[in-house]
Structure 1
């Protein structure tokens, strides 16, 4: 009886600790939910326009924000390797049991809602800003929704997503579709789950997790490169900035999104916590921006639920925390370079590479 009571007490403490750990970040990030709405869905944009120079992006405020983000990652690693981290993981496992068991079903149901909604809206390829006049595209997407009813036909939906992604790339260009590699990850997930495949011994959920991380890290760089795209939203809803200047707000929103996205490929507890926070941010943005945001982000929200419920464990050592600055800095440098050099190559022909 004593052991049972002790076990119950441990579980309660783990659950309470999980709630206390999640509450402050959620409260802090609630104000940045508006920045998580995809700006291309609501404001005018020009992908071919000149992005803000790196010398303006990499300013003192940016460096302080990035340094704080690194400290948070290191703290997360250290906490994960402690008894508290184990209790939090156990609590998460218990709370998300049903989601973990039904992850595939949730993905199929959510994507079915997504494709039926696109059929109802009409004239859209995968996301709201990818417009098309091709009459058969909405019906094709409705057919993809129907294929999600049966597990055996899930690979057809996956292949259809790859086709739509390729079709949109031909219409809008590679750089524009670099915003959405998560669609390819979801397509691979559907194909692998439907056929029972595990390519290179990698779980399908891990594949979609990596593509979600890449998608959000790329989107965060866009916040730094084109903060002016969000000016109309900030002018209409000045409370979003919480008293900060629009420039500082967009820098902070980008760093927060990049850090949470990077955390999706970090240690188990860190990535699960990140998925919960990101999911809460996306859901709160729906209340601010309505059904377009709900439809557009439904796919990534269900992916984040699956990541939050994933009970895969891995040993976390002190060196993981020590390596956090190098990995984070490397990822930041790679995505900034890819964005700016890629933009220069596609739209300027290397006429003048950005100077750091």
Structure 2
């Protein structure tokens, strides 16, 4: 019988680590395999239990978020926040430059993330071009277009549905382009786009755990201790809801956004322990935008009340789930007609 201690340990250790892992970096995946059916997901009682628990948590934390003053509500911190905000362009450019320099030297056959591999001898030179042009504001647009080119290259090789996992690279590329072409006084919109694609990437990761749980079972075969004795199906779904709740607060919350970024950043760092250098390299260009979002706190709520924020969470969950299934079948239909 599973003890209370194991359940608590699983929630503290296993759920976060699995929530942060991009599964395709560590397992054999088959893009022709259809996702878990909606009927099968909806037929699981634990799915509904986790859904209602997540809704309750989102509502309760949204209420607290509107009662606890955020850093933007404290005048004594405005000077520090302004200085931190002004450092974001350099953080984004230098972080991107270091990332692609690392790929060029140590991982020349990786396109953007560890599972996107092609034996193209010219790829490393593009990595170096992106790296060195990213460091300067004047040339960062070249790096931005280079990233967008690599994303399109990966779409050609792996399919658009697969690359929906990595839309954050599109946001990073667009951000670097705007650093060159937009005057500094107009900065702001590109950060909102970056926040959106970053949160979308984590939200999509949560939905992916409902759609393709078998991939995560492969990971648990090698790291079964993460589940701490819990049923694997329940465990993977719970990981999905953890990721969804954190990403939603990062996008919509103020103080809750700060807290969720702290939790998610801790999760990502802890995941380096069991998943190693591959996880570090794969998450590097997720961490840099996460820092940028941390230094760009929301001054106003997207949703005025806790109730509307909770309703928005439910609507997001439904819309993203439907988008996942529709995009899979429509985007793959011309390649895999048997589906």
* TM value normalised by structure 1: 0.83
The alignment covers a number of residue pairs equal to: 327
Query: Could you tell me how far apart the structure 2 residues matched to 1:255 and 1:235 are?
Result: 21
Do the aligned residues in 2 keep the contact of 1:62 with 1:251 (CA within 8 Å)? yes
Residue in structure 2 matched with residue 47 of structure 1 by the alignment: 31
CA positional deviation for 1:180: 0.8
Alignment of 1:304 onto 2:304: no
The match for 1:213 is 199
Gaps of 5+ in 2: 1-7
Query: What does residue 290 of structure 1 align with?
Result: 276
Correspondence for 1:125: 111
Deviates more, 1:107-116 or 1:329-338: 107-116
Residue 122 (structure 2) aligns with: 136
Structure 1 contact 276–304 (Cα < 8 Å) conserved: no
Q: Deviations over 1:146-203 (max 9, x none)?
A: 0122111111111111111111111111111111111111111111223335899852
2:165 match: secondary structure: coil
RMSD of aligned residue pairs (Cα, Å) = 3.0
Question: Which secondary structure state, in structure 2, belongs to the residue aligned with residue 81 of structure 1?
Answer: helix
CA displacement at 1:31 relative to structure 2: 2.5
TM-score, scaled to structure 2: 0.86
Conserved 8 A contact 1:265-1:271? yes
User: 1:10-67 deviations in whole A, cap 9, x for unaligned?
Assistant: xxxxxxxxxxxxxxx9994443243122111111011220211112222321222122
Once the two structures are superposed, the pairs formed by residues 255-274 of structure 1 within 5 Å of their partners are 255-274=241-260
Q: Which residue of the other structure, out of 341, 344, 351, is the alignment partner of 2:329?
A: 344
Give the gaps of 5 or more residues in structure 1.
1-24
Segment of structure 1 superposing worse, 127-136 or 230-239 = 230-239
Matches within 5 A, 1:1-356: 28-35=11-18, 36-58=20-42, 59-82=44-67, 84-86=68-70, 90=74, 99-119=84-104, 120-197=106-183, 202-314=188-300, 319-348=304-333
Structure 1, residues 89-133: CA drift from partner, whole Å, max 9, x if none? 649879877754422222222212211121121211111111112
Task: Please state how far the C-alpha of 1:256 moved relative to its aligned partner.
Answer: 0.9
**2:69 aligns to what SS in structure 1?**
helix
Query: What SS class does the counterpart of residue 116 from structure 2 fall into?
Result: strand
